[in-house]
Amino acid sequence: MRPRFSLVSLALAGGVALSCSEPVTTTGPSFGRAPACDPKYEKCDGDGRMTGGGSSITIGDVRITKGLTIHCDIVLSNNVEVNWPGNKWHLDKPLTGAECIDDPAISPEPPAAPFDTFIGDGIGRLNGVDGSAIHFTFVDAGEPGGKNDKAAIRITAPDGTVVLDLPLTPISGGNLQAHYDQPHGGNP
């Protein structure tokens, strides 16, 4: 039996919103593409991680929730889960791409963090079926959590069909939190 996926494409009333497939422009430094050191063995300046969870976004009758722990250096264990009516997506492999951006117009504090915007890609399971892709943008815009944080999520089924296309949208509950990463590993 072929798995069934339904397209959910959400738009915000009153204007065009940034899609998660559109680039985010910033003048801030970019972290996470090629670390200058091996974070398995030493603390790398600028490395960061983002965590988040809870009720994310409700537009109309569609409620999207998310949970995540993601690292800018992508070599560490990452977890992303996205749920919406009748569907569950879960990262089951390492992230395939990550870009952590420090936009000077956004303050993620507290706590202090080397970035505020995480753009990433990965492959996971959609309703238990391998080979589904995600592209996301998560923005930590400070405290209190969730008031100004934003998320954009695009999920495609294994056959390439877009099943969730959420433009960059303020989250309605929960929190996205950027952090400096914790030291990992030991000396070589």
Q: List, for residues 167-176, the tens digit of each pLDDT value.
A: 998 888 888 9
What is the arithmetic mean of pLDDT over 136-157?
A: 87
Q: What pLDDT, on the 0 to 100 scale, is given for residue 15?
A: 29
Do β-strands 48-53 and 30-31 pair in parallel, antiparallel, or remain unpaired?
unpaired
38 pLDDT band (50/70/90 cuts)? very low
pLDDT exceeds 60 at position 148: yes
DSSP code for 45: T
User: Tokens 């993620």 sit at which residue?
Assistant: 108
144 CB contacts (<8 Å, ≥6 apart)? none
pLDDT tens digits, residue range 85-97?
Answer: 999 999 977 899 9
Q: What pLDDT, on the 0 to 100 scale, is given for residue 175?
A: 87
Distance, in Å, from the CA atom of 103 to the CA atom of 29, rounded to the nearest integer, reads 8
The region of weakest confidence among 67-71, 74-78, 90-94, 125-129 is: 74-78
What are the structural domain ranges in the chain?
8-13+49-175
Percentage of the residues of the chain whose pLDDT score is greater than 90: 38
Distance, in Å, from the CA atom of 154 to the CA atom of 167, rounded to the nearest integer, reads 8
What is the arithmetic mean of pLDDT over 30-57?
A: 56
